[in-house]
Structure 1
Amino acid sequence: MVLKVFLNHCAEDKALVTPYFNKLKALGFEPWIDKRILPGQDWDEVIQHAFNAADVYLIFMTPRSVSKRGYVQREISDALDKQRYNLPGDIGLIPILLEDCEVPVKILRSHQYIRLPEGWQELVESLELAAQQRSIAIHTGVEMDPFRMFLREEKHRWEGLPGYEVSMRYPHVESSRVPNTAVELNEFFASLRLNSLLNARKARINQEEEHFSSWAGDPDWKPANSFHVFISPNLANQFILSFSVHEDGMFAGAAHGFMWVETHNFMIIDDQLIKISFDDFLSEPHSAYTSITALVRERVAKEYAGRFDGELSSDDLIRVREALPSDGTIFRNFIITPIGVTFLYPQGELFGHAAGAFGADLSFNDLRPWLKPGGPHTFAQHASAISWDPGIDDEVHE
C-alpha cells in the first residue's frame, strides 16, 4: 500500500516545495503537487480528487502561504477537518515550516510542526510511521476485547460519462465470547457497505455524455464520481460499542468535494446488539436538552472563534444559536469515549461549506447532572478507546 501525500502550498512557493516532492517520490511515497495537472483538465476538480484520495497532508508554511486567502486556506481547513475522524495517534497532517512565519492558531492548537530542511529525517520517519499505521497485517487482525477485528478494503470502478470510483474500508469481526454479536455486527457493516455501493451505481442511469464527451480523449483523466468510505471503531468492550462512518468524495464536474459522517452506538446484552441514542444516557432527556445544548453551543462557539482568529460578534452568536437548536436534533451524531461523548457536525451542517466541520466534546463529568444512574456511561468508563487502522487492497472492476 503506497502512502499518498498531498503537498499544500501557495503558488509563490512552488520552487521551494518541488524539491521535496522529488525527494518523497524517490523514497517510494506517492506525493501529489499541482504541477501534475495536464492542459485542458479542470484544475479545481483535479485538486479536489487528489485531496480526497490522500492519506497524509503536508502543510508547507511561509509568510506568503499563511497570509494568502483562497485555495491554500480552504485546503488547510479541509485537511484539519478530516483529522477529526482519524483514530487517536494516527498521523494524517504534518505542518512544515519552510520559512519563519506566524503559524496559524488553528494548526498550532493541535499539531506540532517540523522545520525544514533540518527536520527532513523527522518528516521521513513520520511518514514511514503513517504508512505503517495503514498496513498492519490483515491476517493477524487486532484484538479488541472481546473481539478480534480484521480490516476489509475494496475498490470498485466503472467507466462511464461519468463513471465512479469507490474505495471502502470496514471491519470484519470475530468473537468466541459473543459470537452472535459478531455475526450481527458483520451483517450491519455489510449493509452499510452495500448501501454506499448502490448509491455510487446511480451513475449508470444518470449518464451525461454531452457534458463529459470532451474528456473522452484524455487518457490520463476520466470523469468519475469518487467516494471514499470507511467504518471506524472508536470504543469497545463486552458491553458497549461505538463506531463512526465517514465518507468524502467529489462528483465529476462539481465545484468542490463533500464530507459526511454518521455514528452508530450499541449496547451488548445477552449476546445481542441494542442500538442506543444519546437520549438513553439521560434520566429525563427532554428536560435536559436546553442545558446540554448550551454546553454544545459554548464548545462550538469557542472552536468557531479559534478557527477564524477573532472574537465572535453578536451576529456570529446568533448564527451559532440558530445552527444548534435545543430540540435534541443536534445530538444525533456522537461517538463514545471512556471519558465522555463527542458530537460531530460534518462540513456544511452548521455553517457554510467553507467553515468546515465542527465537534463538541462533553465529558461525563459535564453531563453528570442529567445522566441516568447505571446508564451506558457506566460501561463506557471501563471500555477501551481504539486506535486501529490496518490496510489491504482488493480492487474490483465492475
Structure 2
Amino acid sequence: MSLKVFVSYAKEDRQQALKYYDLLVQDGMAPWIDVKHILPGQNWEAEIDKAFLDANVVMLLLSNQSVNKRGFVQREANDAIERLRYKQPTDIYVLPLLLEQCEVSSHIAGRLQYIDLTTSGAWEQVQASLQLAAEQQSIEIKHGSNAGPFKVFSEHLKDYWEGAPGHNIKIEYPRFESAYLSAVAEELSLYFGGRAAQGLIQSRQKPWEQQTDLFPEPGGYTSLNGRWDGFGIVHATDEMLSLTYEVSWYGAGAAHPNSHFETYNFSLRERLLRLSLEDFFRDHEAALKRISQLCIAELCREYWRRTGEKPDQHQIEWFNTGAASTEENFSAFTIGADHFTFLFAPYQVSSYAAGRWSVDISFYDLLEFLKPDGPHTYAVQRVSRE
C-alpha cells in the first residue's frame, strides 16, 4: 500500500515543505500537502480536515516560525497528538521533524522523539520510520488490529452525488472478530455497521431540496456538503470495550468544517450493554461536580503545555463554561484501564483554531463516588482465554 502522509507546515516554510513532499513521492509514499491538492473553489479548511483524518502518518515540520505561531499549524499538531491515544503504543503516527534548531513544546517533546533534519543521516531515519509505519498499516489492513479479545478491521461506506448542494460522504466503521466472544463481536459489527448506514442515509442531500440560485454549478467544490467519520479503539478487555468517533462535517458554502465526538462504552459481561456515565457513580451529581473541578484545572495546565502561557481570564471563563458540571459537557467520555477520558470538541472549551482537547481523570480521584463493584472494574484486563 502507499502510505498516506499529511504534511503540516507553516507557510513561511513552504519551499522546504515542498522539497520533502517531493522526496516522499520519490520514496513511493502518497503525501498530501495543501498547495498541491487543494483546487480553486474548494473550501481549503474542509479539504485539510478530510486529508488529516484520512492520513496514516502526520508529518509535523517544525521551525521557529511554526512553533511560535498560533493558528492551523498548532491546531494540526494539537489534534495529531490527541489522536495518538487511539493508536497502538508501537504505531508510528506522528513524526515531528525539525527544519532548524527551535524550541519544541512539551506538548510534543514530552510524548514523541523528534528528528533534526539538519543532522547527517536524518532523512534516512525518516525513511526507516515511514517504512515501518507502512508495514504496520499493511498488517492491520490484512490481519486486523488487536484490541483485547478482538481483531478489529476498518471498513467504510462512501457516497458522492453532484447536486446544488450535493454530498461527499465517507463513514468508517469497525468490524469485529473474536475466537471466544463471537456473539459479542457479531453484535458489535452489526451495531456499528448500522450506525454507518444510518449516518450515510441521513447525510444524503435530497433532489427536491436543491438551491440552484445559491449553488449554480452542481458538482462544483463549493456545492458539496461533506461528512467524514473516523473511529478509534481506546480500550478493550474481556468485559469492556471503549471507542470513540470523530465526526466532521461541512455545509456547502460555510466558512469552515466542524466536528464533534461520539463515544461508545460497552459492558461485555454476560451480554452486550451500552454504558452511560451515570452507570458508574453512586452520586452522579456530586461526581459531575468533582469531574468538572478536575477537568478545569487540567485544561489550564494543558493550555500552558501547548502555549507556554497561563490562560487569560477570557480563556478561563471558556473552560469554566465548557467544563461546567452538566451532563451534556461530559457526554463524550471513554474508559481506560484506570481512568476516564473526557473529550471536548472545538468551541466547547476553546477556539476553533485550538482544536480538540481531552482530560484524563483517574478512578482514584473519583473513588468516593464510584460504585464499589461498578462497571469501572470491568476495565481491568483479566487473564485472557486463548
Same fold (TM > 0.5): yes
Once the 2 structures are TM-superposed, how far is the Cα of residue 12 of structure 1 from its aligned partner?
2.8
Contact 1:49–1:250 under 8 Å retained in 2: no
Contact 2:237–2:380 under 8 Å retained in 1: no
Once the 2 structures are TM-superposed, how far is the Cα of residue 262 of structure 1 from its aligned partner?
1.1
Amino acid at match of 1:190: G
Alignment deviations for residues 9-35 of structure 1 (CA, whole Å, 9 cap, x no partner): 233322222221111001111122333
Contact 1:240–1:383 under 8 Å retained in 2: no
- 1:109 match: 110
20 and 206 in structure 1: CA distance in 2 versus 1, 3 angstrom threshold: farther
Question: d(CA) in 2 for partners of 1:335 and 1:208?
Answer: 40
Once the 2 structures are TM-superposed, how far is the Cα of residue 116 of structure 1 from its aligned partner?
1.0
Question: d(CA) in 1 for partners of 2:222 and 2:329?
Answer: 39
Q: How does 1:118-137 map to 2 (within 5 A)?
A: 118-136=121-139
206 and 171 in structure 1: CA distance in 2 versus 1, 3 angstrom threshold: same
- 2:275 match: 276
- 2:159 match: 156
- Is 1:32 the equivalent of 2:35? no
Question: d(CA) in 2 for partners of 1:194 and 1:21?
Answer: 36
- Is 1:300 the equivalent of 2:299? yes
Contact 1:154–1:168 under 8 Å retained in 2: yes
Identical residues among aligned pairs (%) = 33
132 and 166 in structure 1: CA distance in 2 versus 1, 3 angstrom threshold: farther
75 and 287 in structure 1: CA distance in 2 versus 1, 3 angstrom threshold: closer
Question: d(CA) in 1 for partners of 2:89 and 2:326?
Answer: 31
| Partner SS for 2:198 | helix
| Partner SS for 1:227 | strand
| Partner SS for 1:134 | helix
Q: How does 1:250-289 map to 2 (within 5 A)?
A: 250-270=250-270, 272-289=271-288
| Partner SS for 1:344 | strand
Question: d(CA) in 1 for partners of 2:218 and 2:163?
Answer: 11
Question: d(CA) in 1 for partners of 2:243 and 2:226?
Answer: 23
Question: d(CA) in 1 for partners of 2:311 and 2:333?
Answer: 25
- Is 1:242 the equivalent of 2:260? no
128 and 26 in structure 1: CA distance in 2 versus 1, 3 angstrom threshold: same
Amino acid at match of 1:236: A
Question: d(CA) in 2 for partners of 1:44 and 1:372?
Answer: 48
Mean CA deviation greater in 84-93 or 230-239: 84-93
Amino acid at match of 1:195: Q
Contact 1:231–1:246 under 8 Å retained in 2: yes
Amino acid at match of 2:115: I
Contact 2:341–2:358 under 8 Å retained in 1: yes
- 1:325 match: 324
Question: d(CA) in 1 for partners of 2:289 and 2:41?
Answer: 50
Once the 2 structures are TM-superposed, how far is the Cα of residue 148 of structure 1 from its aligned partner?
3.8
Once the 2 structures are TM-superposed, how far is the Cα of residue 215 of structure 1 from its aligned partner?
7.9
TM-score (norm 1): 0.84
Contact 2:86–2:233 under 8 Å retained in 1: no
Question: d(CA) in 1 for partners of 2:207 and 2:131?
Answer: 39
Amino acid at match of 1:283: R
| Partner SS for 1:320 | helix
Contact 2:166–2:218 under 8 Å retained in 1: no
23 and 293 in structure 1: CA distance in 2 versus 1, 3 angstrom threshold: same
Q: Gaps (5+ residues) in structure 1?
A: 385-398
Once the 2 structures are TM-superposed, how far is the Cα of residue 139 of structure 1 from its aligned partner?
5.5
| Partner SS for 2:163 | coil
Once the 2 structures are TM-superposed, how far is the Cα of residue 75 of structure 1 from its aligned partner?
3.7
Once the 2 structures are TM-superposed, how far is the Cα of residue 189 of structure 1 from its aligned partner?
0.8
Contact 1:163–1:225 under 8 Å retained in 2: yes
Question: d(CA) in 2 for partners of 1:162 and 1:318?
Answer: 38
| Partner SS for 2:272 | strand
Contact 1:339–1:380 under 8 Å retained in 2: yes
- 1:189 match: 192
- 1:166 match: 169
Q: Gaps (5+ residues) in structure 2?
A: none
64 and 176 in structure 1: CA distance in 2 versus 1, 3 angstrom threshold: closer
- Is 1:98 the equivalent of 2:99? yes
How many corresponding residue pairs?
A: 381
Alignment deviations for residues 129-186 of structure 1 (CA, whole Å, 9 cap, x no partner): 3323332265644554544433323433223344333233322223453443233212
Amino acid at match of 2:191: F
Mean CA deviation greater in 34-43 or 320-329: 34-43
Question: d(CA) in 1 for partners of 2:367 and 2:87?
Answer: 28
Amino acid at match of 1:170: Y
Amino acid at match of 1:279: E
Question: d(CA) in 1 for partners of 2:112 and 2:348?
Answer: 25
Question: d(CA) in 1 for partners of 2:38 and 2:142?
Answer: 40
Question: d(CA) in 2 for partners of 1:78 and 1:365?
Answer: 27
Alignment deviations for residues 223-244 of structure 1 (CA, whole Å, 9 cap, x no partner): 5333322333322233222121
Contact 1:49–1:226 under 8 Å retained in 2: no
Contact 1:161–1:223 under 8 Å retained in 2: yes
Larger RCO (CA within 8 A; separation ≥ 6):
1
| Partner SS for 2:180 | coil
